[in-house]
Amino acid sequence: QVQLVESGGGLVQAGGSLRLSCVASERTFSLYTVGWFRQPPGKEREFVAAINWSGTTTYYRDSVKGRFTISRDNAKNAVHLQMNSLKPEDTAVYYCATGRRRVIEMNPAEYDYWGQGTQVTVSS
């Protein structure tokens, strides 16, 4: 079973930046798509971004396009989410997830393994 550990969350002012990281326990992590999701307070979990196994294809929710960048370092079993120009509405618990799929998926039900989440709070 793949274990995922997120880090990099915190409190930042609007307009600031954070870099989230997700590190996996298994080398097979490098073979599959990885997604970032978030759950704002009182709301359902939502898709943020995803990257395919090779890093050649990425996909973002519309509200983060141009501000967030997802990348991966398969040699280190890691995926990162660079978040710039943060807004208060980006406040949420952020989760990384993976499953045994090699295509981009936006539905959280398609992911089998999840990290514990990291809190991102953006103050106005």
The torsion angles phi and psi of 62, rounded to 5 degrees, stand at -60, -40
Distance of CA 101 to the CA centre of its chain: 16
Mean pLDDT of the chain: 96
Position 1 pLDDT exceeds 90: no
Task: Retrieve residue 41's tokens.
Answer: 């307070």
Q: What is the pLDDT, as a whole number, of residue 33?
A: 96
The predicted model gives 76-95 an average pLDDT of 97
Per-residue pLDDT band for 4 (boundaries 50, 70, 90) equals very high
Position 100 pLDDT exceeds 90: no
> pLDDT per residue over 28-54, tens digit each?
888 999 999 999 999 999 999 999 999
The whole-angstrom separation of Cα 5 and Cα 108 is 17
The predicted model gives 20-26 an average pLDDT of 95
The predicted model gives 98-118 an average pLDDT of 93
Write the single-letter amino acid at 104. I
The predicted model gives 82-104 an average pLDDT of 95
> pLDDT per residue over 53-73, tens digit each?
999 999 999 999 999 999 999
Q: What is the pLDDT, as a whole number, of residue 29?
A: 87
Task: Retrieve residue 51's tokens.
Answer: 């990257």
Handedness of CA 52, 94, 113, 81 (dihedral sign): positive
